[in-house]
Amino acid sequence: MASIKLQLLLFWVSVGFCFGGTFFFVSCLTFKKENFLKYAVLLSYLAFLPLTAALADRWIQTGHFPYWGVYEVFSSYAWGALLFYLIVQLRKPNLKIAGTVVLPAVMLMIGVAVMNSAEMKEIPKTFFTYWLGIHILFAKLSYGSVLISAALALSYLIKSKQEEKGDVSPLMAKLPDIEKIDHWSYQFAAFAFVMLGIMIASGAVWAYKAWGRYWNWDPIETWALISWLVYGLYLHLRITLGWKGKRASWLALFAVFLVVFAFFGVPLISDSVHEHLKYTR
């Protein structure tokens, strides 16, 4: 019980930092205060620390990687997305502004996690397989990349609109040119397509080993397939039919909506074999 209290405390501290970071990111864009960006990124790092500590404590408490139940799933996805963002902005400092999308999403995910039951449940034996580990790893990577891709698509739309008006904010002006942003958005979407594909394939192998059927038109797996098809469509339109710029950015934003819905919306409205995503209070 004490352990859960500690985790909740750490999660709330992380939410606090995320809130602060989101405030600075949004202020940075809205009030064109460029120096706010460094505070926003600093707060992102600060949010990562208690989040990591809380998940480590949960891992010790349960004896397994936190993936079972909404409490563990959402908090670990939040961790994965934040880690992905921190790595990306280290490698490509121009992408720091992507935190405007990633940080509120992380805050929201931790918020949903702590609102759900932290009770430890017995995990079916079929879940103890390395295929599940692969499935979860690629799910987290895909989630991080779709968020970044969406953030870049959004940045493209904002910057291109500002350029059309001839009034580009200092922060947007610091971003690379819109062709580059568009290209990065495409690269992250392509990465998401690969990660989603491997996630679906490894999930299929696991399901076949556990139940003898690799595909069951289960709501979550079907929505994941729909998301993958939409990313496939995006890549096809881009590579073979030359879709770029605004049209591609809107499609990338639509695709991220589908991914978020597949992961977190579907368990709200449908029963699924993905028991670990079931919402409980």
Partner 1 sequence: MGGRNYLFLLWNLLKSKRLAAVLILLLAVVATIGMVRPETEIFQTRWFAGLGIVFFTNLTSCTVQQIINSYRLWSKSGSLIKTGNNVKISTSLDIDGGGPKYRLRVKGRIGIWGAAVFHIGLILITVGAFVSGTMKMSGYIRVAEGETRYELHHDYEGVEEGPFFDESRHSGIGLVLRKQNIILDKSGDVDEIISDIAIIDNGRAVRTASLGEKEPVIYRGIRIFQKKAGFAPFLEITGPGNVKIANTNILLETDSSGEKARFYLDRLPLPNTPYILNIRFYPDMVHQGNEVTTTRYTLSNPGADITVLDEEQVVGEKIVRPGESMEFAGYRLKMGSIKHWAGFDIVNDMGANWVFAGSGVAVCGLALIYLFKKRSLLDNGQH
212 binds partner 1 (CB under 8 A): yes
Applying CB under 8 A, what is the total number of residues that bind partner 1? Answer: 37
205 binds partner 1 (CB under 8 A): yes
198 binds partner 1 (CB under 8 A): yes
123 binds partner 1 (CB under 8 A): no
Say how far apart CA 72 and CA 276 lie, in whole Å.
Answer: 9
Closest approach of partner 1 to the CB of residue 194, in Å? 5
Out of 197, 273, 275, 279, which residue is the one contacting partner 1 (CB under 8 A)?
A: 197
Assign 3-class secondary structure to the chain.
CHHHHHHHHHHHHHHHHHHHHHHHHHHHHHCCCCCHHHHHHHHHHHHHHHHHHHHHHHHHHHCCCCCCHHHHHHHHHHHHHHHHHHHHHHHCHHHHHHHHHHHHHHHHHHHHHHHCCCCCCCCCHHHCCHHHHHHHHHHHHHHHHHHHHHHHHHHHHHHHHHHHHCCCCHHHHHCCCHHHHHHHHHHHHHHHHHHHHHHHHHHHHHHHHHHCCCCCCCHHHHHHHHHHHHHHHHHHHHHCCCCCHHHHHHHHHHHHHHHHHHHHHHHHHCCCCCHHHCCCC
222 binds partner 1 (CB under 8 A): yes
133 binds partner 1 (CB under 8 A): no
Span from 30-38, 68-76, 97-105, 203-211 in contact with partner 1 (CB under 8 A): 203-211
C-beta of 119 vs 217, nearer to partner 1: 217
Distances (CA, A) of 266 to 21, 196, 222, 242, 276: 29, 17, 10, 33, 13
From residue 79 to residue 118, the character string flagging contacts with partner 1 as x (rule: CB under 8 A) and all else as - is ----------------------------------------
C-beta of 237 vs 273, nearer to partner 1: 237
254 binds partner 1 (CB under 8 A): no
Closest approach of partner 1 to the CB of residue 126, in Å? 6
5 binds partner 1 (CB under 8 A): no
179 binds partner 1 (CB under 8 A): yes
C-beta of 169 vs 272, nearer to partner 1: 272
Binding region for partner 1 (CB under 8 A): 124-126, 128-129, 179-180, 183, 194, 197-198, 201, 204-205, 208-215, 217, 219, 222-223, 225-226, 229-230, 232-233, 236-237, 240-241, 270
